Amino acid sequence: MPYDPGDVVEVLRGPRQGAAAGTYRAFAATMKGLKMTFGRLVEGPMVNSYPEEKTPVYPRFRGRHKLHRFEDNGLEKCVGCSLCAAACPSDCIRVVAAENTPENRVSAGERYAAVYEINLSRCIFCGYCEIACPFDAITMGHDYEMADYNRSDLIFTKEMLLAEPLERTPLRSADE
């Protein structure tokens, strides 16, 4: 029985090249490649030298958290309600509330956060704490350079979160 290829898909191939055409084609292709890479050389580098040049972040960029005070009387906005801790999916916020007294008035509400810690080694920067907060006391800042040598150094206390962060990250302007 003769071999019947049936409906085999026909493979299209270029014409077989002889020695001269093949050599010329290899030579020309090499030249084309060299021209191509030289073009890239002329274009120059297209990278940012990171620690010196920082890519500006967008206004809604979710970086390291910030705690806020009222600007007029300097009281803390946080009332220690722990809604942020409840909203946190990675369970990295710890809040211990205490009562405000007339002698020791820390926040504007009845209570204040005696302990407010965020474990940044667990934080996933989802921003749910910011959404959960009824007083806009916690927001996500623009700082993303938080690498450290020690895990315990990544637990940020209330004082650290309240402090004005070093302006390390440039903010992207409207037209950028």
Partner 1 sequence: MKVIAEVGYFEPWWMQIAKALLIFFVVFNLVPIALVADRKVLGRFQHRYGPNRVGPYGALQPIADIGKLLFKEQFRPTTSTGWLFTLAPIISLLTAGATIAILPFSDTVDIFGTKTGLYGVDPSIGILYAFAFGGIAFYGLMLGGWSSGSKYSFLGSMRAAAQLISYEVAQGLSLVGIVMMAGSLSLTHIVEWQASHIAFVIPQFAGFIVFLVAGFAETNRAPFDLAEADAELVGGYNTEYGGGRFGAFFAAEYLNVVVVSGLLVTLFFGGWNLPWLSPPTWVDPIIVIVKMLISVFFFIWVRATLPRLRYDQLMSLGWKIMLPLATLNALVTAILVVVWK
Q: Which of residues 42-101 bind partner 1 (CB under 8 A)?
A: 43-47, 49
Is residue 33 close enough to count as binding partner 1 by CB under 8 A?
yes
Q: Which tokens belong to 86? A: 């409840």
Q: How far is the CB of 49 from partner 1 (least distance, A)?
A: 7
Residues 6+ apart with CB under 8 A from 107: 75, 76, 77, 78, 79, 80, 100, 113
Return d(Cα 123, Cα 125) in angstroms, integer: 6
Q: How far is the CB of 167 from partner 1 (least distance, A)?
A: 25
Closer Cβ to partner 1, 37 or 101, answer by number: 37
Do 159 and 113 form a contact (C-beta atoms < 8 A)? Answer: no
Return d(Cα 6, Cα 128) in angstroms, integer: 63
Q: How far is the CB of 155 from partner 1 (least distance, A)?
A: 32
Q: Which of residues 2-31 bind partner 1 (CB under 8 A)?
A: 23, 30
Is residue 36 close enough to count as binding partner 1 by CB under 8 A?
yes
- Cβ count within 10 A of residue 12: 5
- Cβ count within 10 A of residue 126: 14
Number of residues forming the site for partner 1 (CB under 8 A): 15
Q: How far is the CB of 19 from partner 1 (least distance, A)?
A: 9
List of residues contacting partner 1 (CB under 8 A) = 23, 30, 33-34, 36-38, 40-41, 43-47, 49
